[in-house]
A = this chain, B = another copy of it.
Amino acid sequence: MKATGIVVEYNPFHNGHLYHARQSKIETGADVIIAVMSGQFLQRGEPAFADKWTRTEMALLNGIDIVIELPYVYATAQASDFAKGAIALLSAIGCESFCFGSEEGAIHPFLRTYELLNGQREQYEQKIHEAVQTGISYPKAMNRAYNALTGNSDGYADLTQPNNILGYHYIDEAKKMGSPMSPHTIQRIAANYHDPIDKGLTIASATGIRQAFFEEGSMKEIANYMPVPSLLSLQEFNRQYHAFGSWEQFYPMLRYSILKERPAQLKRFSEVTEGIENLIFEAAAKEHEFEGFIGRVKSKRFTRTRIQRMLTHIYTGFTWDQLRSFQTPSYLRLLGMSEKGKRYLNQQKKNMGLPLISRAANLTDPMGKLDIHASSMYLLGIGAKDLKKEFTSPPLYFG
């Protein structure tokens, strides 16, 4: 069986994701589709809208054959480390290809971009460094450096687009680790990342769908934009916890956590840099709602996403020391599989580059323990009483 890999968050699963999954199989000619999925916290530095088991269920209900958890340390990292973890896992599980959604939609510009930047890596990094010194954000600095190298000419991927940036890093990491996986991309359609729901379309962005949940107070509105089984999974999650994951939901505990720590202690946490600990502390003292808080902290230099990643690490207690101690993924945590996925895993068993772990009790190394810890922190934030879910949830099997 030929497998292709995709990297997802499914926050929550919607028609755009369904399209991506189907097209990826067509594009790559794969029999099996494997998703590496973030756990309880996401790349933009946010608690997931629904927990990883709910999102795994949504994936399996919509044609994904295997769901593997991207460990916390990669799932909450900036694009290059996020990509490093994801590509290493897809490679270890034996995918012949990987396929990402992009604004670009064709693979050749990514390869050309890779060749350009790889050939001039030092020069590129120097230019980024210079641009950061002028006080702009890292993503903007990257872009300025990139434009300087390409001379703004056609034929390269447009690295101002968030999915193009991730796509570039997938290719970069795959090349770096000498992976034999062939890269593919399909065009993202209809909704941009942050677009609010447009009632004329049946594909909406995940951000738009989440907003609609909170604004309308009802799930009916959403049914046009996501497969009905996904909607039911979300409803079940909400029925159980009377909440969805969001910083608004988690803010009372985040605020307590920030204020309990002295600013000097806040600096211990991963990504908290350059004197921003005082700003975070003062804003938490003043603001009792998340939007007011983040409004005081974010700036041109420190984007919302970057701040949110700091907050994620403050919230979970993840430190710089821990960050530095991790290099490459050490396990494949299986969250769920279809019948076909199960057959694939049986067939691949002996060829996998990392141990396949089905039960939390077997996550005994620091990276795995961190995933369990982050999961508990998420469950507390969502108001769960029972924190044993991590240990009592075997992989989902849809046979």
Contacts and interface: CB of A to CB of B under 8 A. Distances in A.
Interface residues of A, number: 23
A373 B261 CA distance: 10
Nearest to A257: B260
Interface string A248-277: 000011011101111001000000000000
B380 A261 contact: no
B260 A317 contact: yes
A168 B44 CA distance: 59
Contacts of A315: 260
B257 A377 contact: no
Contacts of A265: 317
Contacts of A255: 380
Nearest to A385: B288
Contacts of A285: 376, 387
Contacts of A257: 256-257, 260
Contacts of A260: 257, 315-317, 377
A256 B259 contact: no
A386 interface: yes
A259 B376 contact: yes
Interface in A357-386: 373, 376-377, 380-381, 385-386
B387 A261 contact: no
Interface of A: 252-253, 255-257, 259-262, 265, 285, 288, 315-317, 373, 376-377, 380-381, 385-387
